[in-house]
């Protein structure tokens, strides 16, 4: 029963993707201008060329490197700061106005300063991704801490967990983990979107984002579309992987899907 | 064992209102005594328990446990909350070992001790389950084990069986009495149920409507194990109901 | 092989086809109707290379000369580099583009229907090196970071070829950093993030005047008489309004001659249009540069075909573009023949 439902859902999924591809192919063939809409077959051909040439791996690794730098710092800054603000009211009051000022600024607006502060290096690209990723992480960590059920903190106190350090690490942090996981996940989504912009200003001659601009400058729209799809596909893989890790390891104690 | 003298407590709400919760409380509890608190809703029972636990400070008055003043939470007092309070990210066993971890007791030993307490509350089989896999009654039994493992002299229980069905509740009362007899703890137990109080308590403390004062202290000098439906038990019940009824009426007025 | 089954499935998906043809049939019909053209759309860049366009515009010659052909208004779009300008042309937003001779290559390769019909100028880009760095030969650039316009632009193409001619591998021996605007490149030089920039005029003079660096090589030294900007017109305009194309060339020749004869006036026109560059700087730029304004496309033909070869070798174009793919010299030759008769 359950199995047949599963199979039916699969069939539906495959049919929907297949028809999207077919419609795409038909539209592209009717328009018949590669630079307006490359067809599915053209994109597949371009993709296979990229894979066999090995260039794609270097692009992916370059982008993932920037992404890892940005995400790493975003996590290293966002979670501790979120914890401090969530736990200590004075820190919250002192830092919150500054955060609220900076938060609405789009990550792309930071590009000039990214270059001036970090030069044309991987850290400049990482910085732009960091700006995109840090706030969702910070805000969700903060909210998670703020919403720690009072009864859990008091249970801890009654059981001998009195010091702030113990209360933070043994109670508030684990209680906030689902919220933090959501923040990291949203942050990764935003950060990955910033990759395209982060690679625009010439920190490398490889990278998925850079190649989108590169091939756009040369009007090879089949390549542009191929790299766009690669960008989306990797985002999907990262997200699924993260969700799997979180559910299997981190938040096994939770009921159902919360992340 | 526990001595409360001239205790007063007024809450100041964020809107600036004052809520007098407890007024002039004087109470002495003997060692190993099982005391039930009963009174209209909002009369300050939880407040008194929380002050005893050290989670709240009184405005005036003194509290001592074994002649030591209470300044904050301490290992001599354990508490079981009205709400479910297990750490959801820890297994049942790890919930119980929590206080022992803080005391830096080696893993093996603390798990051995904890398993004994799980045995005591009849949940050995669920040691590796997560709280969300347990029923409400089971959660409260784990909470009791978690409080007991710390070996407190005084066990504070705030309507621990308030949210479970009547049958389970009867069973849990039996189990609690068994544990109490085995471990010989002093217990402060809040309840809304006259039946529960008469079945469990050595002493029942009846509170007035807010601001809570102690209206009456009744000794239930019935032999144990008790018959829920004995003639004497019924007499205590009727007395308590009459006293309470007046207070509840006062609370509504 | 993959196409065949796809076609069969496609045939089954009638709804999809109806939907699609419903969307696309209208523009196709519109495109077939002959248009009474009243507005001409130009694309250009903020460079002294293209003052001919700005001069004709400032003098009102475009409207004046084209009015007999039914043109009642002109519109222009300013682009930081040739790449987005070609993208706009691909999208059908521009009829006439003043642009470097390389950006059209990849665009035409990818399906842009347009032809080069006139020349604009040759040479005219410089390498500006940070003040504290020495320069005696191209070898001094090894290990440096040089910012220029993105791959496929004229500057990128000339720079790479020149480096290769001097046994410097542009991929391994130094890094070429692509910048989407001259402003970004100048900022990078000013802040020390790159060591040199290679840009068209007036930007080298601007960078020098602001003290960011010094001009060390002019592009004429890198590739003598190399083609630079051209006039590119859409095939649609050529097919539907050849008379307008002819007049555009006549006006362009007139404007080119005017700025050659009046360089001071040319500088003034440029600074009026591109207000970020003051008159004294654009005047200085026109004095210093090695560029030459021309209107004859034949002058640019040879190097343009060499660029096509370079871009093909780099994999920027799928096919090796020929003169017929890129140029339509008939208009210029006809106009010149007529002028000679007069
Ligand atoms: N943190 C607080 N701030 C303000 N008022 C409070 C606070 N905690 C409790 N009160 C008020 O103090 C009074 C006593 O509360 P308490 O929880 O002790 O009552 P209770 O006897 O336990 O009631 P119940 O039987 O319903 O649990 C109530 O009126 C309550 O609204
Ligand atoms: Mg209560």
Among all bound ligands, the one having the nearest atom to the CA of B44 is 1
CA distance A117 to A108: 15
State whether C306 and C178 are in the same domain. no
- Model pLDDT, residue C35: 59
User: How much is the pLDDT for A77?
Assistant: 97
Residue A168 per-residue DSSP state: I
pLDDT at A2: 57
C54-83 average pLDDT score: 93
Q: What is the pLDDT of chain A when averaged over all its residues? A: 90
Residues 6+ apart with CB under 8 A from C84: none
Residues C81 and C137 in one domain: no
Q: Where are the alpha helices (DSSP H) in chain A?
A: 2-31, 40-53, 55-87, 89-102, 111-118, 122-146, 150-158, 164-167, 173-198, 208-217, 221-245
Distance (Å) from the alpha carbon of A149 to chain B's nearest alpha carbon: 9
pLDDT value for C7: 47
**pLDDT tens-digit readout, C261-301:** 999 999 999 999 998 899 999 999 999 999 999 999 999 99
Q: Which residues line ligand 1 (CB under 6 A)?
A: B 11, 13, 19, 21, 41-47, 210
The verdict on A155 touching C (C-beta cutoff 8 Å) is no
User: Ligand 1: distance of its center to the CA of B21 in Å?
Assistant: 7
Please name the residues between 138 and 167 in chain C that touch chain A, using a CB distance below 8 Å: 145, 147, 150-153
Angle (CA) C232-C238-C241 rounded to 5° is 125
Chain B segment 125-184 residues within 8 A of A by beta carbon are 130-132, 146-147, 150
Question: How far apart are the C-alpha atoms of C97 and C86, rounded to whole Å?
Answer: 8
Q: Which of residues 76-115 of A touch C (CB under 8 A)?
A: 112, 115
Instruction: Indicate which ligand has the atom closest to the C-alpha of B192.
Output: 1
Same domain, C107 and C235: yes
Q: Are B143 and B246 in a shared domain?
A: no
Nearest chain C Cα distance for residue A70, angstroms = 20
Ligand 1, from B14, B19, B52, B192: best to mutate by most atoms within 8 Å of Cβ? B19
Q: Are B218 and B195 members of one domain?
A: yes
Q: Count CA atoms within 13 Å of residue C290 on its CB side.
A: 18
Using a CB-CB cut-off of 8 Å, the residues of chain B touching A151 are: 81, 83-85
Domain boundary among C222, C245, C263: C222
The beta-carbon neighbor of C111 closest among A33, A112, A218 is A33
Structure confidence by residue, pLDDT tens digits, C219-237: 999 999 999 999 999 999 9
Number of separate helices (H) and strands (E) present in chain C = 17, 12
Subunits in contact with chain A (3 or more CB pairs closer than 8 Å): B, C
| Residue C218 structural domain | 125-222
Whether residue C26 has pLDDT greater than 60? no
Expressed in percent and rounded to 5, the helix, strand and coil fractions of chain B are: 40, 25, 35
Specify the CATH number for the domain of residue B54: 3.40.50.300
Which DSSP symbol is given to B207?
Answer: E
Q: Where are the alpha helices (DSSP H) in B4-91?
A: 45-53
C13, pLDDT greater than 70 = no
Q: What is the DSSP string of B174-195?
A: HHHHHHHHHH--EEEEE-S-HH
Higher pLDDT, A205 or C34: A205
B82 CA distance to ligand 1 centroid (A)? Answer: 13
What is the pLDDT averaged over residues A136-164?
A: 94
Both tokens of residue C45?
Answer: 């860049």
pTM higher than the cut 0.90: no
Say if C149 falls within a structural domain: yes
C contact test, residue of A24, A219, A224 with most C CBs within 10 A: A219
Residues C118 and C241 grouped into a single domain: yes
In a domain, C29, yes or no: no
Residue C194 located in a structural domain: yes
DSSP 8-state code for residue C227: B
B168 and B136 belong to one structural domain: no
Token pair for C86: 């070609």
Q: Do A252 and B98 touch (CB under 8 A)?
A: no
Share of residues in chain C with pLDDT > 70 (%)? 90
**Protein residue with least CA distance to atom 26, ligand 1:** B41
Contact status, residue A20 vs residue C19, Cβ threshold 8 Å = no
Minimal C-alpha gap between A159 and chain B (Å): 5
Cβ pair A253:B73 closer than 8 A:
no
What are the tokens at C137? 């030969």
Task: Look at A120 and C177 and tell me if their CB atoms are within 8 Å.
Answer: yes
Statement to judge: residues B22 and B143 lie in one domain: no
Tell me the CB-side half-sphere exposure of residue B246, using CA atoms within 13 A. Answer: 10
C in contact with A (at least 3 C-beta pairs within 8 A): yes
pLDDT at C9: 44
Two tokens, residue C217: 């090589």
Residues 6+ apart with CB under 8 A from B253: none
Contact A42, A224 (CB under 8 A): no
Q: Is the pLDDT of residue A1 over 70?
A: no
Residue B160 tokens read as 């621990």
Say whether pLDDT at B70 is over 90: yes
pLDDT, tens digit, 9 for 90 and up, residues C133-170? 999 999 999 999 999 998 888 999 999 999 999 999 99
Q: Specify the number of domains making up chain B.
A: 2
* Mean pLDDT taken over chain C: 88
Q: Are C295 and C115 in contact (CB under 8 A)?
A: no
> Is residue B245 predicted with pLDDT exceeding 90?
no
Is A240 an 8 Å CB contact of chain C?
Answer: no
Boundary residue ending a domain (B96, B128, B151): B151
In this prediction, residue C209 carries a pLDDT of: 93
Rg of chain A on CA atoms, in Å: 22
Q: How many CA atoms lie within 13 A of A52 on its CB side?
A: 6
pLDDT of residue C23 exceeding 50: no
In a shared domain, residues B248 and B161: yes
C194 and C274 both lie in a single domain: no
* DSSP element (H, E) containing B11: strand B2-12
Q: List, in sequence order, every residue forming a beta bridge with C40; answer none if it has no partner.
A: C74
Token pair of C57 as six digits: 């515009």
C197, C148 contact by CB (below 8 A): yes
pLDDT digits (tens, 9 = 90+) for B205-218: 999 988 889 999 99
Q: Judge whether A31 is closer than 8 Å to chain C, CB to CB.
A: yes
Q: Is A159 an 8 Å CB contact of chain B?
A: yes
Using only C-alpha atoms, chain C has a radius of gyration, in whole angstroms, of: 22
Q: Are residues B131 and B32 in the same domain?
A: no
Give Cα separations from C24 to A21, A76, C18, C234 (angstroms).
18, 51, 10, 22
Q: Is residue C19 part of a domain?
A: yes
Whether residue A202 lies within 8 A of chain C, CB to CB, comes out as: yes
Tell if the CB–CB gap between A218 and C188 is shorter than 8 Å.
no
Pick the ligand that lies closest to the CA of residue B25.
Answer: 1
**Measuring CA to CA, which residue among A161, B249, A221, A2 is closest to residue C86?**
A221
Contacts across the A-B interface (CB distance below 8 Å): 70
B244 in the same domain as B162? yes
Q: Which two tokens stand for residue B125?
A: 């089989």
For residues C277 and C111, the answer to whether their CB atoms sit within 8 Å is: no
- State the Cα angle at A120 between A118 and A124, rounded to 5°: 45
- pLDDT category at C29 given cuts 50, 70, 90 is very low
Domain count, chain C: 2
Domain-embedded: residue C235? yes
Whether C241 and C166 map to the same domain: the answer is: no
pLDDT value of position C328: 96
Cβ contact (<8 Å) for A205 and C175? yes
Q: Please identify among residues 116-145 of chain A the ones whose CB lies closer than 8 Å to any CB of chain C.
A: 116, 119-120
Q: End-to-end CA distance of chain B, in Å?
A: 37
Smallest Cα–Cα separation from C215: which of C205, C225, C224, C223? C205
Identify the domain boundary among B104, B127, B151: B151
Provide the mean pLDDT of chain B: 92
Distance A150 CA to ligand 2 centre (A): 15
Closest to B83 (Cα-Cα) out of B175, B158, B194: B158
Both C337 and C242 in a single domain?
A: yes
What is the structure's pLDDT at C315?
87
Span of A18-22, A178-182, A196-200, B27-31 with lowest mean pLDDT: A196-200
Q: Does A157 touch chain B (CB under 8 A)?
A: yes
Give the C-alpha separation, C140 to C156, whole Å: 19
Question: Of C171, C197, C222, which residue sits at a domain end?
Answer: C222
Smallest CA separation from ligand 1 atom 25, residue: B41
Q: What is the CB neighbour count within 10 angstroms for residue C1? A: 4
How many residues does the structure list for chain B?
Answer: 253
Cα(B216) to centroid of ligand 1, in Å?
20
Is there a contact between B186 and B1 (Cβ–Cβ < 8 Å)? yes
* Both structure tokens of C173: 């021996």
Mind telling me how many Å the CA of C333 is from chain A's nearest CA? 30
The secondary structure element, H or E, covering residue C234 is strand C229-234
Domain ranges, residue B97: 84-151
- Rounded to the nearest 5 degrees, what angle is found at the Cα of B192, between the Cα atoms of B186 and B198? 60
What is the average per-residue pLDDT within B55-81?
A: 93
Average pLDDT, integer, range B130-137: 91
Does C56 reside within a domain?
Answer: yes
Ligand nearest to the CA of B56: 1
CB C128 within 8 A of CB C219: no
Domain match, C134 and C204 both: yes
List the residue whose alpha carbon is closest to atom 18 of ligand 1.
B44
Nearest Cα to C34, choosing from C247, C244, C232, C239? C239
Among A27, A120, A220, the residue with its CB nearest the CB of C193 is: A120
Domains of chain A: 54-248 (1.10.3720.10)
Q: Which atom of ligand 1 is nearest to the CA of B49?
A: 18
* Residue C299 domain-assigned (yes or no): yes
Terminal-to-terminal C-alpha distance of chain C: 61
Question: Phi/psi at C92 (nearest 5 deg)?
Answer: 80, 20
Question: How many angstroms separate the CA atoms of C88 and C92, rounded?
Answer: 6
User: Residues 18-37, chain C: which have Cβ within 8 Å of A?
Assistant: 19-21, 23-24
Is the Cβ pair A174, B89 closer than 8 Å? yes
Contact C82, C99 (CB under 8 A): yes
- Do residue C106 and residue C209 come from a single domain? no
- Nearest residue (CA) to ligand 1, atom 17: B46
* CB half-sphere exposure, A118, CA atoms < 13 A: 21
Chain A residues with beta carbon closer than 8 angstroms to that of C177? 120, 202
CA-nearest of A98, A97, A126, A92 to A111 is: A126
Query: How confident is the model over C79-121, as pLDDT tens digits?
Result: 988 888 999 999 889 999 999 999 999 999 999 999 999 999 9
User: Which tokens go with A146?
Assistant: 């703020």
Which residue is closest to B55 within chain A, CA to CA?
A154
Pair (C182, C330) in one structural domain:
no
Using the beta-carbon criterion (under 8 Å), do A26 and C150 form an inter-chain contact?
Answer: no
Residue that terminates a domain, selected from B151, B184, B201: B151
CB C189, CB C212: distance < 8 Å? yes
Which token pair is B234?
A: 């019924």
Which ligand 1 atom sits closest to the C-alpha of B82?
27
- For C111, the closest of A35, A216, A217 (CB atoms) is A35
The answer on C322 and C268 residing in a single domain is yes
The encoded tokens of residue C55 equal 């001069």
């Amino acid at each position: 029963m359950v199995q047949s439902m599963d199979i039916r859902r699969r069939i539906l999924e495959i049919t929907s993707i297949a028809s999207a591809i077919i419609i795409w192919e038909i539209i592209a063939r009717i328009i018949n201008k590669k630079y307006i809409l490359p067809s599915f077959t053209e994109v597949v051909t371009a993709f296979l060329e990229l894979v066999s040439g090995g260039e794609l791996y270097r692009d992916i690794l370059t982008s993932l490197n920037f992404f890892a730098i940005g995400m790493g710092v975003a996590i290293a800054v966002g979670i501790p700061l979120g914890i401090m603000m969530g736990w200590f009211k004075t820190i919250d009051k002192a830092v919150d106005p500054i955060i609220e000022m900076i938060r609405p600024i789009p990550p792309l607006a930071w590009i000039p300063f990214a270059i001036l502060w970090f030069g044309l290096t991987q850290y400049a690209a990482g910085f732009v991704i960091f700006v995109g990723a840090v706030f969702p992480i910070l805000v969700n960590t903060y909210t998670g801490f703020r919403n720690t059920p009072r009864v859990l903190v008091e249970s801890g106190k009654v059981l001998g967990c009195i010091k702030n350090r113990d209360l933070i690490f043994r109670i508030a942090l684990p209680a906030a983990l689902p919220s933090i996981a959501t923040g990291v996940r949203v942050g990764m989504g935003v950060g990955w979107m910033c990759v395209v912009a982060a690679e625009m200003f010439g920190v490398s001659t490889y990278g998925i984002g850079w190649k989108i601009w590169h091939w756009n400058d040369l009007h090879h729209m089949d390549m542009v579309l191929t790299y766009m799809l690669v960008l989306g596909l990797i985002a999907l893989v990262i997200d699924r992987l993260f969700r799997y890790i979180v559910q299997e390891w981190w938040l096994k104690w939770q009921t159902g899907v919360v992340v | 064992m526990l001595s409360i003298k001239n205790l007063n407590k007024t809450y100041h709400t964020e809107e600036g209102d004052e809520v007098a919760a407890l007024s002039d409380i004087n109470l002495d509890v003997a060692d190993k005594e099982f005391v039930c608190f009963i009174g209209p809703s909002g009369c300050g029972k939880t407040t008194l328990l929380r002050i005893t636990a050290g989670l709240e400070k009184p405005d005036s008055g003194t509290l001592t446990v074994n002649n030591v003043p209470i300044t904050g939470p301490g290992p001599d007092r354990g508490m079981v909350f009205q709400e479910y309070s297990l750490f959801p990210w820890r297994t049942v066993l790890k919930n119980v070992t929590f206080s022992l971890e803080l005391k830096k007791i080696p893993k093996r030993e603390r798990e051995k001790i904890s398993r004994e307490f799980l045995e005591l509350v009849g949940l050995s089989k669920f040691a590796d389950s997560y709280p969300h896999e347990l029923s409400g009654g089971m959660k409260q039994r784990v909470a009791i084990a978690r409080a007991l493992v710390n070996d407190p002299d005084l066990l504070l229980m705030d309507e621990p069986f308030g949210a479970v069905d009547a049958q389970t509740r009867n069973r849990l009362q039996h189990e609690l009495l068994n544990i109490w007899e085995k471990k010989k703890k002093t217990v402060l137990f809040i309840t809304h149920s006259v039946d529960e109080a008469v079945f469990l308590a050595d002493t029942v403390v009846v509170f007035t409507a807010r601001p809570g004062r102690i209206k009456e202290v009744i000794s239930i000098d019935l032999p144990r194990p008790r018959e829920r439906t004995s003639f004497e038990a019924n007499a205590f019940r009727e007395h308590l109901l009459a006293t309470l009824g007046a207070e509840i009426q006062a609370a509504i007025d | 092989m993959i196409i065949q089954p796809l076609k069969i499935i496609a045939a089954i998906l009638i709804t999809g086809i109806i939907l699609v043809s419903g969307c696309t049939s209208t523009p196709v019909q519109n495109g077939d109707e002959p248009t009474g053209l009243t507005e001409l759309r130009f694309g250009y860049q903020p460079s002294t290379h293209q003052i001919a366009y700005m001069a004709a515009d400032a003098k009102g010659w475009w409207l004046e000369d084209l009015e007999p052909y039914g043109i009642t208004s002109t519109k222009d779009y300013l682009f930081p580099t040739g790449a987005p300008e070609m993208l706009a042309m691909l999208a059908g937003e521009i009829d006439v583009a003043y642009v470097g001779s390389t950006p059209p290559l990849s665009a035409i390769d990818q399906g842009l229907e347009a032809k080069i019909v006139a020349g604009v100028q040759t040479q005219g880009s410089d390498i500006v090196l940070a003040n504290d760095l020495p320069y005696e030969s191209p070898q001094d650039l090894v290990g440096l970071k040089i910012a220029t316009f993105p791959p496929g632009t004229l500057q990128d193409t000339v720079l790479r070829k020149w480096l290769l001619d001097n046994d410097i591998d542009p991929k391994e021996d130094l890094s070429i950093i692509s910048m989407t605007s001259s402003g970004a490149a100048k900022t990078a030089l000013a802040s020390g993030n790159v060591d040199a920039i290679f840009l068209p005029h007036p930007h080298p003079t601007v960078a020098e005047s602001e003290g960011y660096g010094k001009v060390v090589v002019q592009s004429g030294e890198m590739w003598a008489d190399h083609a630079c900007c051209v006039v590119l017109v859409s095939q649609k305009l050529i097919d539907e309004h050849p008379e307008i194309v002819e007049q555009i060339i006549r006006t362009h020749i007139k404007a080119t001659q005017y700025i050659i004869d009046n360089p001071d006036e040319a500088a003034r026109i440029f600074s009026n249009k591109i207000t970020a560059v003051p008159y004294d700087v654009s005047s200085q730029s026109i004095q210093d540069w090695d560029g030459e304004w021309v209107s004859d496309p034949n002058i640019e033909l040879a190097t343009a075909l060499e660029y096509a070869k370079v871009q093909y070798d780099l994999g920027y174009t799928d096919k090796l573009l020929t003169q017929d793919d890129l140029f339509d010299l008939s208009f210029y030759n006809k106009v010149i023949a007529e002028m000679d008769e007069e």
